[in-house]
Amino acid sequence: MSTDFLKRLGLFFVFLLSQAVLLGRIHLFNCATPLFYVYFVTMFPRNYPKWGILVWSFLLGLMVDIFFNTPGLAAASLTLIGAIQPYYFELFVSHDAAEDLRPSLSSIGSLKYTNYIVVLVLLYSLVFHTLEMFSFFNWLHWLMCVVGSTIVTLALIFTFEVANRK
Amino acid sequence: MKNLLAFLQKYFHWVLFVTLEVVSLVLLFQYNHYQNSVWSSSANVVVGKIYEWSSALDSYFSLKKVNENLTLRNFYLERQVSQLRRLYQESQETQSKEERKALADVSQYSLVPAKVISNATNTPDNLMTIDKGSKDGIEEGMGVVCGAGIVGITYLTSTHYTVVIPVLNSRSSRISCAIRGHGYFGVLRWYGGDSRYAFVEGIPRHARFKRGDWVETNGYSSIFPEGVLVGKIVEVYNSRDGLSYKLKVQLSTNFGNLRDVVVVTDKSFAERVRLMQAANDSLKLNVRE
């Protein structure tokens, strides 16, 4: 058990509980819900074992699902992000960058980081709400949910990133 | 075989990805079999426990609101009880429609819940501040009560705050009250000292009552509705001039830990003030002429 694993495990529960107890109950304008736990998946450093990212993402998604009675929904969406994350992050780093570079505002610069995080969060929100609405499709509501959740989640993530930069 | 292993090793994470996605999607689309999936829902023991804690925490934070509502509710019921008690007493003798209509009087008053933000009980002339002001419809000279009984009368109003003269103000507080069930009335005063006791003066000598009787407001002034609790008679003295009784009353309101109060705004109050002013003005005019 490395310290990295333990730290990640701690973070895992912090994200899970914050979502279950606090954030998951927020429904701004009846649709914009912070999906803050996706931040957990975007934090994996370069060259982290890909299967590890997948397992972490799947488990976090599953646990969130258990709390919100939506089995498979967050798990499916978050696993997808977990699969994409290592490849996508690779696009933003130069080849001579550190082997275990962690995606953050300070490590890759604010412009690149914004680009990186916006796409991942938007994709997550898109997949999540699309799967959620599988049975009942109202495209205006769907669009509002996707955009609303993305904005709220990004606001939270940037708050934390800026706070951690110092 | 070796090639296959190498292939699996290289693309293991893709295989894993597909497997996990399939599991997720099966969960997602098989969820109708609710009985089979109790473990993966919030009926799960651990999840249930966490939700229980979280709601316990929530309910703690909402206690403030609950308290406020209870104060309001308590006061309302207290008044209804006193109205009903009076009606019952009267109906023993004669019963008229108009008396029954008195119950509707309750709606003559509207209530504004407020929080005490500063309070004192240790000086002879205490003042109290509450967090509601003219913006909430509060004017000077309105009654303030709490769930347990009488508190005082509003004195100065700003937009958001109001200074209240509580019973515990020896110089300025004089509230008209009566002995419950007997109707003899007097004036509630306080002379400093113990904040649990006050005095009722001016009870006539021929009044019949006993220790332990309740004192309540009598509703003459329209500041307080009839029947708001003041306190319990614990001691009876003669007044200095020997013409009346002076009662020592244990106040039902605990001023030491007062938090939630209710301001009683009499809807007809403004009308009465206007009428009185008009009367005064016309008297002055007459005198001048």
pLDDT digits (tens, 9 = 90+) for B225-254: 877 888 999 988 888 888 888 899 999 888
Is B253 inside a domain boundary? Answer: yes
Tell me which range, B36-45, B82-91, B133-142, is most confidently predicted by mean pLDDT: B133-142
In percent, the amount of chain B with pLDDT more than 70 equals 83
* pLDDT at residue B36 greater than cutoff 50: no
Q: Does B117 touch chain A (CB under 8 A)?
A: no
**3-state DSSP call for residue A12?**
helix
Query: Which chain B residues have a beta carbon less than 8 Å from that of A55?
Result: 16, 20
Q: What is the CATH number of the domain that holds B117?
A: 2.40.10.350
Domain co-membership, B133 together with B259: yes
Angle at B6 between CA B5 and CA B7, to 5 degrees: 90
ipTM summary value: 0.81
CA distance A21 to chain B (A): 6
pLDDT confidence band for B34 (50 / 70 / 90) = very low
State both tokens at B90.
Answer: 């009267």
Q: From the DSSP assignment, how many helices (H) and strands (E) are in chain A?
A: 7, 0
Is B63 inside a domain boundary? Answer: no
**Beta-carbon-side half-sphere exposure of residue B125 (alpha carbons within 13 Å):** 3
Phi, psi of B264 (to 5 degrees): -95, 110
Of A49, A70, A76, the CB nearest to B25: A76
Is B189 inside a domain boundary? Answer: yes
Q: Do A54 and B16 touch (CB under 8 A)?
A: yes
Is B116 inside a domain boundary? Answer: yes
**Distance from C-alpha of B58 to C-alpha of B41, rounded to nearest angstrom:** 21
Is B102 inside a domain boundary? Answer: no
List beta partners, residue B187.
B176, B201
Is B1 inside a domain boundary? Answer: yes
State both tokens at A155.
Answer: 């606001």
Average per-residue pLDDT for chain B: 79
Confirm if B140 and B156 have CB atoms less than 8 A apart.
yes
Average per-residue pLDDT for chain A: 86
**B72-104 tens-digit pLDDT:** 888 888 778 877 877 777 777 655 555 455 445
CA distance A44 to chain B (A): 15
Confirm if A93 and A150 have CB atoms less than 8 A apart.
no
**Distance from C-alpha of B223 to C-alpha of B145, rounded to nearest angstrom:** 11
Q: Which range of residues forms the domain containing residue A14?
A: 3-165
> Whose structure tokens read 């669009």?
A143
Question: β-pairing, B162-166 with B143-145?
Answer: unpaired
The chain B residue lying nearest A75, using CA atoms, is B24
Q: Does B81 touch chain A (CB under 8 A)?
A: no
Helix residue ranges, H only, A91-136: 105-108, 110-132
Q: Does A79 touch chain B (CB under 8 A)?
A: yes
Query: Which chain A residues have a beta carbon less than 8 Å from that of B37?
Result: 71
**Distance from C-alpha of B181 to C-alpha of B85, rounded to nearest angstrom:** 9
Give mean pLDDT, residues B184-207: 87
Number of domain units in chain A: 1
Number of domain units in chain B: 2
Contacts of B34 (CB under 8 A, 6+ apart): B41
> Whose structure tokens read 């515990």?
B168
- Residue A154's pLDDT is 92
Residue B270 CB neighbours (<10 A)? 11
Residues of chain A with pLDDT under 50: none
**B261-288 tens-digit pLDDT:** 888 887 666 666 667 777 877 777 766 5
- What's the predicted TM-score (pTM) here? 0.52
**Distance from C-alpha of B131 to C-alpha of A133, rounded to nearest angstrom:** 46
Confirm if B263 and B111 have CB atoms less than 8 A apart.
yes
Domain co-membership, B131 together with B251: yes
Of B21, B26, B42, the CB nearest to A67: B42
Residue B63 CB neighbours (<10 A)? 9
**Distance from C-alpha of B13 to C-alpha of A113, rounded to nearest angstrom:** 25
Of A17, A73, A82, the CB nearest to B28: A73
Domain co-membership, B168 together with B262: yes
Q: Which range of residues forms the domain containing residue B160?
A: 109-267
Q: In one letter, which amino acid is A49?
A: P
Is B182 inside a domain boundary? Answer: yes
Confirm if A145 and A88 have CB atoms less than 8 A apart.
no
Q: Do A72 and B23 touch (CB under 8 A)?
A: yes
Q: Does A14 touch chain B (CB under 8 A)?
A: no
